[in-house]
């Protein structure tokens, strides 16, 4: 069974540019959530999508956005990149249900490491 796949694994951008990251969940998983991980702030929740709808959003500015397609694949976009956006962006998928609490397990990808120069 294939795991969660994130692309690209590494990328370098400059300030002011935008970036799109992709996440392919485990087959059959309809919930996809995104996280930002930095040395200073640790793991922070960005947003979660279920059946193409954003169900919840963390405390991030509007420059961070996402979407989910009918095949459950998800993308997140960061516009007008800032130096502080340099981070590891993690995606996780989980089984159908009422959400994370009822499934009990998140399956994480290996992340996309973004460096903003």
Partner 1 sequence: DAKTTQPNSMESNEEEPVHLPCNHSTISGTDYIHWYRQLPSQGPEYVIHGLTSNVNNRMASLAIAEDRKSSTLILHRATLRDAAVYYCILLNSGGSNYKLTFGKGTLLTVNP
3-state DSSP assignment of residue 95:
coil
**Whole-number minimum distance, CB 14 to partner 1, in Å?**
25
Exactly one of 11, 20, 45, 73 binds partner 1 (CB under 8 A); that residue is 45
State phi, psi for 24 to the nearest 5 degrees. -110, 115
Site for partner 1 in 53-82 (CB under 8 A): 55-56, 58
Helix (H, G, I), strand (E, B) or coil at 71: coil
Alpha carbon distance 55, 79 (integer Å) = 21
For partner 1, which is the closer residue by CB, 17 or 51?
51
Give the helix ranges, DSSP H, for 1-117: 100-103
Q: Which is nearer to partner 1, 35 or 81 (CB)?
A: 35
Phi, psi of 5 (to 5 degrees): -115, 125
Contact pattern from residue 88 through residue 107 relative to partner 1, giving x for each residue in contact according to CB under 8 A and a dash for the rest: --x-x-----xxxxx-xxxx
Which residues sit at the interface with partner 1, rule CB under 8 A?
4, 33, 42-45, 48, 50, 55-56, 58, 90, 92, 98-102, 104-111
């Amino acid at each position: 069974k294939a795991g969660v796949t994130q692309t690209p694994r590494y990328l370098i951008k400059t300030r002011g540019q935008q970036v799109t990251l992709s996440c392919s969940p485990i087959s059959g998983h309809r919930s996809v959530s995104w996280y930002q991980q930095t040395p200073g702030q640790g793991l922070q929740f960005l947003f979660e999508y279920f059946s193409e709808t954003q169900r919840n959003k963390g405390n991030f500015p509007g420059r961070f956005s996402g979407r989910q397609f009918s095949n459950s694949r998800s993308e997140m976009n960061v516009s007008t990149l800032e130096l502080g956006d340099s981070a590891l962006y993690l995606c996780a998928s989980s089984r159908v249900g009422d959400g994370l609490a009822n499934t009990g397990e998140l399956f994480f990808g290996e992340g996309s490491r973004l460096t903003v120069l």
